[in-house]
Structures are given as C-alpha cells and as structure tokens.
Amino acid sequence: MVILPELVLLAGALAFFVISLGKAPEDKLVRSTALLVGFATFAAAVLAFNSQGTLFHGAYAIDRFSQLFKLLIGFALALMLVFSRNHKDIESRVRPEYFLFQLLSVLGLMMLVSAVELILMFVALELSSFALYLLVPMRDDRSGVRMQMEAGMKYILFGVMATGFMLYGMSYLFGLTGTTSLAGITAFLSAGTPQPAAVVAVVMILGGLFFKLAAFPLHFWVPDIYQGASNETTAFISTIPKIGAVAVLIRFLALPSGHPQFLVHLLAGVALCSMFYGNLSALVQKDIKRMLGFSGIAHAGFIILALLALNGEGYGLAIYYIAGYVLMNLACFLVISTVSQRGENLRIEDFNGLYRRQPLLAFILAVGLFGLAGIPPFVGFMGKFMILTSALRADQLVVVCLAAINTAIAIFYYLNVVKAAYTADPENRPAVTAPASIQATGVVLVTAIVLLGALPSRLVEYAWAVVQSML
C-alpha cells in the first residue's frame, strides 16, 4: 500500500508500452487507457494517503509530507488527462509513446517527493526530466515551422546545465558529511560548526531546482518551450513538475547550513528578479502560452517568497500556493486546449467574444485569470495575501512592497485576456464546442479555486502540520 500510486503509474506505463508495439493502435483505446490510469493514480494516492513507511534502507520515505504531494500530483494528473486525452496536435501513431513518457515523468516526480537520499533523488529527478524532454518535440509537424524541435533542444540543454549545478552541490554535501542520506547530512551539519561550503552546496542544488520551478536565473527556457510544445504538453510542463520542485526545495532549505541570513537575502533577490522579469515581459506578449510562461516565472517568485521565512509556516504557505497555482493554470489550459481547433497556438485576440461562442469556457478562463492576478475571493488572492503577511512578519518590508507592485502590474495583462473574451466582438470566429467531460472538469476546477480561496485555513494548517512532522 505504501507505494500503490507508484505501482499504478508503472503498470500504466507498461500498458502503453504494450499498446505501442502494435502497428496502428486505436485512438479510443489509447484515450481510454490514459483516462483510466489517471483516475486510478489519484484513487491510489487517496487509498495510500494514511500509509507510512521506509524502503531501500531508509532512502525512500513514505510519510505525511510525501503523501500530501502525491495526492496533489495524482489529482492534477487526473484532471489534466480529461481535457488533454484527445491531443489534437499529437499524431495518432505516437500517442502511446507520448502517454508512456508522460506517466514515466509523473512516476519520477512521485519518487522524487519520497526520496530522502541524494542518489535516489537524482535518479528520480532525471527520470522525470528526460521523459519530459521527449514530450516537447513530439508535436505534429504539419505547420512546417518545426519550432517544437528548437524548443526540445533548448529544453534539454538548459536541463543538462541545471543538472550539472545540482550534481556539483550534491558532491559538496557528500564531501563534507561523508553520507548521501538527508538525515545523516542534517545530523552532521547540526552537530558541527557552520560550514561555508555547506551554503555553497545548498545554493548550487537550489540553482538546479530553480530550473524545475522556472525561477530566475534559470528561467530562460520557459517562453520558447511553452510556445513550441503542444498545448497539452505545455499544460503538463507548467503544472505538475512544479509540485515536485517545491517538495524538494523544502527538503533542502530545511538543512541547517548555519548561515540562514545569507539564504534569506539570496531567496529575496531571486524572488524579486523572478517577479519583475516575469511580469514586465508578460505585458507585451500576444501569444497566450508565452504570456502564461512569463506569468509562471513571476509566480515562482511568490513561491520562493513563501520559502523565505525558512520555517514551517512559510513551507506550508508554499504548498498552499503551488496547489492553487496548479488549479488556476489547469483552468486556463483547459480553455486553451478546447478553443484551439487543431492544436495550434492561440493569440490573445483568438479569445475575442468567447462569452458568446462558449459562455462556460469564458467563465472558467475568467476565474483562472482572476485567480492568477490575485483578485478575491479566489485562491490566488488568499495565497499572495498570506505570503506577503508572512514576509512582513519576517521584517521584509521592502520585499513586500515590491511584491505588491508586481501584483498590480500582473493585473493588467491578465485582465487584457478577460477583456478580449467578454468585451471584444467575435467577428467571424466559430462557436466552440465543449464536451460534457470538459465542462464538468472546468466546473470542478472553478469550485476548487473558489473553495481554496474562501476557506484556506484548513489546508494551510494541515500543510503546516505536515511540514513540521517532516522537519
């Protein structure tokens, strides 16, 4: 039971491997299998939620911390597969392989959140990353632009560089402590005098994780990969891997480096650079996926701002914020994937008059964007409010003021899309058809966004308790 979600994902990946051996697999079989595995993974995460234990000589820990992240990953995967199972821009002949790599990437993320040993953590991260690199260039080439190939090359090159940073930091930790276990590293650093090399090691590892979170300064890959990948692939890249990145960031920031003030200043600088770069760049974007890519960089800044406190409260807020961000982003990409008729990229003007062409999709898009902008009563507002309050209690007044300015900047480009959907004339754009499953998924996302925003205390308190138990 303790590794039931991982076993379900592994079985699903094997099923798609078997399907891919056939000459021409039926689309219906592929779609149904993907949906079945997605919901089975979420169900397995629910069933195994209270299970705890350790495996592989203490290298793999199944505790409340990892189970919470697995539940978030499973829920996001199930919802995403509902609106992305058709994959308008992925050729039918490669869809089994596509879902195979996608499930292996999720398997790597689930292993990552349970890994408490450096080598296992690295293996899980690479399993997740390399499966993800292969998804980007699998987009259909009918347009002839081949931007997905360029995006795939950039993604793997930046990923290899980030991996190098992380491995260098891990080697420092091993050299200092003589162990690859996080528990052993924590015990060694707590017992001895503060080691400046430990700070260097943690900073290098954080650099590798900032790539996964799409935070400054390892953010340059984001807009091109978002634009070059298919809509459904971008929906995956922009949401689920970031859940795993937050889990590992918390584990490494919890290490007692002996120089917390330096880490606070470093994280504050990274957070502000991410916010300003992301928001100012998003102001001039016309492609909706590029805009959401720069938006993701800015939101990574808010997540890092939550981690700034270096305590259980801040880590709990980071979990709450990433959960809300994933829901809001999925709501936006649900609309993008449905409005896009053949899987093509959409510009902001392509949403003109959406309230007439499909009122429910226009409402879902508006809720997602209002949430990302930080407008009440949605989860984005409550997440930003609590993070800024936490930073203010930590005497970070200047950082809070600059973050509030960034929130005001972001409202402009989010509401620009809402304005196109609700006030612009649809002109000759056709009506949009949304199947019942898409509409139901949209309603679930909207309900979750509103409930998390209106009633945040229970999840935040539970996240705090979970992090305290891990610490």
Tokens of 442: 């949209």
- Cβ neighbourhood burial of 73 (10 Å; 0-12, 13-18, 19+): buried
Q: What is the mean pLDDT of residues 118-134?
A: 93
Confidence of residue 446 (pLDDT cuts 50, 70, 90): very high
Confidence of residue 144 (pLDDT cuts 50, 70, 90): low
- Euclidean distance between CA atoms 12 and 18, whole angstroms: 10
Which residues touch 110 (CB under 8 Å, ≥6 apart)?
A: 5, 6, 9, 70, 73
Each residue of 230-239: pLDDT tens digit?
Answer: 889 999 999 9
Mapping DSSP to helix (H, G, I), strand (E, B) and coil, where does residue 130 land? helix
DSSP state of 350: G
Each residue of 157-194: pLDDT tens digit?
Answer: 999 999 999 999 999 889 988 899 998 988 888 887 77
Confidence of residue 143 (pLDDT cuts 50, 70, 90): low
* CA pseudo-torsion sign 20, 24, 28, 29: negative
Mean of per-residue pLDDT scores for the chain: 89
Question: Looking at the predicted structure, is the pLDDT value of residue 17 above 70?
Answer: yes
- Euclidean distance between CA atoms 244 and 108, whole angstroms: 9
* CA pseudo-torsion sign 71, 241, 175, 186: negative
Buried b (16+ CB within 10 A) or exposed e, 341-365: eebebbbbebbbbbbebbebbbbbb
Each residue of 308-358: pLDDT tens digit?
Answer: 888 888 899 999 999 999 999 999 999 999 988 887 888 999 999 899 889
DSSP state of 48: T
Q: Percent helix, strand and coil across the chain, each rounded to 5?
A: 75, 0, 20
- Euclidean distance between CA atoms 72 and 109, whole angstroms: 11
Domain boundaries in the chain?
A: 4-140+148-470
Confidence of residue 47 (pLDDT cuts 50, 70, 90): very high
